[in-house]
């Protein structure tokens, strides 16, 4: 199948970056990224050849609420990141969580709740939910992130409503972006694919057919707690197959089934979970970028 053959480029492009930790950016070090434009280092200040005012000012007012002046010449330039050659390929500062080869970045719980190697079945360039083996989670923990996930509902259609191609991308192991086969499958609105499960249906439903690869690009802002109190709730932006499904939607608490969500304080970073809902959903090309809030 033509779509499946595309897995090969994913492997090639990310092969050299699979071991990079997020935040340990080795710009230009990826062996397989020869097609990507060479990234440029951030400028420490204006070059000597710049005309006064050309690259910033020192006499402008402070931006309200910030420590910087309007067009402040001293304000550090954003870090440059070489985008992936193909939009869904990982950029240079991404931590690749699955590149088509192995599940070394993932773990599961054993019979005594101990952490064990992930056992979900590997296929050619993708893996499948290990139905009824329990959910899988990353070995690393994350807070604010940009996350790219590709998934496909089982090509052999079985079940209905929440029983058809159900899995989930669960930020911090608590906040689920639903994965569900929506092709000719009806379910409740806040439980469909790309819903913030039990809270918000997506703005639109933009599914592909069972067996076809679908994309989620998620920007997630972790909740902030002071003691047991929620200072800032979580927010999620979700782009599904290139279509906006949520625009910085406020999460009302962790995902719950048949009960109202309610925040419970937790650590600032936690593992990302993929849900085992007893259906053999497929995943490939998963990468994440840690986000740092502007100061
Ligand atoms: Mg689910």
Question: How close is the Cα of 91 to the center of ligand 1, in Å?
Answer: 28
Question: How close is the Cα of 215 to the center of ligand 1, in Å?
Answer: 16
Residue 165 to residue 212: CA distance in whole angstroms: 12
Question: How close is the Cα of 243 to the center of ligand 1, in Å?
Answer: 20
Question: How close is the Cα of 238 to the center of ligand 1, in Å?
Answer: 16
Q: Find out whether 282 and 123 touch, Cβ atoms under 8 Å.
A: yes
DSSP secondary structure, 176-245, as one string: EEEE---TT----GGGSTT-BTTTB--SS-----TTS-EEEEEEEE--EEETTEEEE--EEEEEETTEEE
Question: How close is the Cα of 93 to the center of ligand 1, in Å?
Answer: 29
Neighbours of 255 (CB within 10 A): 22
Question: How close is the Cα of 33 to the center of ligand 1, in Å?
Answer: 34
**Encoding tokens for residue 115?**
């952490």
**pLDDT, tens digit only, all 295 positions of the chain:** 333 333 332 222 222 233 233 333 332 233 333 344 444 444 445 556 777 777 899 999 998 888 999 999 998 887 776 767 777 999 999 999 999 999 999 999 999 999 999 999 999 999 999 999 999 999 999 999 999 999 999 999 999 999 999 999 999 999 999 999 999 999 999 999 999 999 999 999 999 999 999 999 999 999 999 999 999 999 999 999 999 999 999 999 999 999 989 999 999 999 999 999 999 999 999 999 999 988 7
Residue 252 to residue 217: CA distance in whole angstroms: 21
Q: Tens digit of pLDDT for each residue in 126-144? A: 999 999 999 999 999 999 9
Question: How close is the Cα of 192 to the center of ligand 1, in Å?
Answer: 9
pTM value > 0.95: no
| Topology, domain 62-294 | Jelly Rolls (2.60.120)
């Amino acid at each position: 199948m033509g779509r499946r053959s595309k897995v090969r480029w994913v492997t090639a492009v990310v092969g050299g970056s699979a071991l990079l930790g997020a935040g340990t950016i080795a710009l230009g070090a990826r062996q397989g990224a020869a097609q990507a434009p060479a990234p440029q280092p951030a400028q420490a200040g204006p070059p000597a050849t710049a005309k006064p005012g050309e690259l910033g000012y020192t006499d402008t007012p402070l931006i309200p609420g910030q420590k910087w002046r309007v067009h402040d010449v001293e304000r550090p330039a954003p870090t440059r990141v070489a985008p992936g050659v193909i939009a869904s390929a990982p950029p240079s500062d991404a931590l690749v969580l699955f590149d088509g080869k192995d599940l070394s970045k993932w773990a599961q719980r054993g019979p005594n709740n101990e952490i064990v190697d992930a056992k979900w079945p590997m296929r050619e360039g993708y893996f499948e939910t290990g139905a009824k083996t329990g959910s899988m989670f990353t070995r690393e923990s994350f807070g604010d992130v940009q996350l790219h996930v590709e998934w496909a509902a089982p090509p052999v259609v079985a079940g209905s409503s929440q029983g058809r191609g159900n899995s989930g991308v669960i930020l911090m192991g608590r906040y689920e972006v639903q994965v569900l086969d929506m092709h000719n499958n009806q379910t409740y609105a806040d439980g469909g694919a790309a819903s913030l499960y039990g809270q918000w249906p997506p703005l639109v439903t933009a599914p592909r057919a069972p067996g076809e690869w679908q994309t989620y690009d998620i920007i997630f802002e972790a909740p902030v707690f002071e003691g047991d109190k929620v200072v800032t709730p979580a927010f999620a932006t979700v782009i599904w197959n290139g279509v906006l499904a949520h625009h910085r939607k406020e999460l009302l608490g962790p995902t719950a089934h048949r009960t109202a969500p309610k925040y419970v304080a937790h650590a600032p970073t936690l593992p990302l979970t993929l849900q085992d809902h007893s259906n053999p959903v497929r995943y490939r090309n998963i990468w994440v970028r840690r986000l740092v809030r502007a100061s």
